Structure 1
Amino acid sequence: MTHPPALAEWHRLVQTHDSAGLWALLAEDAVFHSPVVHTPQVGRPIVSAYLTAAFRVFFNDTFRYVRETVASDHAVLEFAVTLDGIEVNGVDIVSWNAEGRITQFKVMLRPLKAVNLIHQRMGEMLAARQG
C-alpha cells in the first residue's frame, strides 16, 4: 500500500525510533489529544514533547500497527504493544495538511490498567524532559 507522504514519514520515524524527525513532520499549530490529559495540547513544541515521550514509552520490540484505514488527509492506526506484562490496545487518529505536516494526533487506549500505566510513564518522561 502506498501511503500519503505524512503517513509514510510517520511510519518511517516509528520503525527507526527517530523522534528527532518529529519536529519537521509537525505543523506549527499541531494539536495533540492525549488519552490521559483532558485538554488538547496545542503547538509544535508541546506536541513534539508528547510524541517524543510516547516514542520512549510505546516503541519497544512488541509495538506493532495491526490495522489501518487511510484517507487523503487522515488515517486511523490500530496498534498493540506489551508494557510491563500488560497488553495495550490503542488507536492513533492522525490528520495532516496539504503540505504533508501532521495537524492533529489523537490517541485512544484500553484497558484501564493500560491507561493508568501510560499515564504514569508519560508523566515520568515529560517530567524528566522538563527537569
Structure 2
Amino acid sequence: MASNNLQKWHDYMKSHDLKALRDMLDDDVVFHSPVVHTPQAGKDITYLYLSAADQVLGTDKFRYINEFDLGDKAVLEFETEVDGLVINGIDMITWNEGGQIVDFKVMVRPLKAINAVHAAMGKMLETLKTKS
C-alpha cells in the first residue's frame, strides 16, 4: 500500500488535475530534468516541466512498473511511448513534512528515448509558454 504522499501522486497521475499538481509542489521545489544540465528551482518552473511531461508522456501508454516507497521519498520506474518509441524511465520524488514535493528527478533511457522526449518536451514547453 502506498504512503499518503505517493498515493496523492498516483491520484494526480490518474486524474491529470493540474491544480492538484500545483498544490503538491513546495514553493522551493527543485526539478532535475534528464536533458537540462542544471537543476530548475521553484514552483513555477517545476510546474511547467511536470505539466508538459504529463501531456507528452502521460498518455494511455504510461504505466509505473516498479515502485519503492519510503514515505518521504519514492523511486518509480515507468514505461511509456513517444512516436512509437518505447521509453523507460525513473521518477525520484522527495516530499517535505507537510506532504509537498521538494525534489523531483527524472531519468530516461535509452538514448533514442532521451532524444525523442527532448524534442517533444521542447515543443510542448513552447506551446504552454505561449498559453500563459
Q: Deviations over 1:38-97 (max 9, x none)?
A: 010000011000000001001111110000011121000000012211110000000000
Aligned length: 130
TM-score (norm 2): 0.95
Q: Which residue of 2 aligns with 1:109?
A: 108
User: Over aligned residue pairs, what C-alpha RMSD do you find?
Assistant: 0.9
- Secondary structure of 2:47's counterpart equals helix
C-alpha displacement of 1:36:
0.6
CA contact (8 A) 1:93 1:107 kept: yes
Taking the aligned partners of 1:52 and 1:29, their CA distance within structure 2 comes to 17
Runs (5+) with no aligned partner, structure 2 = none
Q: Deviations over 1:94-124 (max 9, x none)?
A: 0000100000000000011110011011111
- Secondary structure of 2:7's counterpart equals helix
Q: Which residue of 2 aligns with 1:83?
A: 82
Taking the aligned partners of 2:18 and 2:56, their CA distance within structure 1 comes to 12
Q: Which residue of 1 aligns with 2:94?
A: 95
Identity %: 48
CA contact (8 A) 1:92 1:108 kept: yes
CA contact (8 A) 2:6 2:71 kept: no
Q: Which residue of 2 aligns with 1:50?
A: 49
C-alpha displacement of 1:19:
2.4
CA contact (8 A) 2:5 2:71 kept: no
Taking the aligned partners of 2:100 and 2:5, their CA distance within structure 1 comes to 6
Q: Where does structure 1 differ by over 4 angstroms across 4 or more consecutive aligned residues?
A: none
The letter of the residue matching 1:41 is: Q
CA contact (8 A) 1:93 1:106 kept: yes
TM-score (norm 1): 0.96
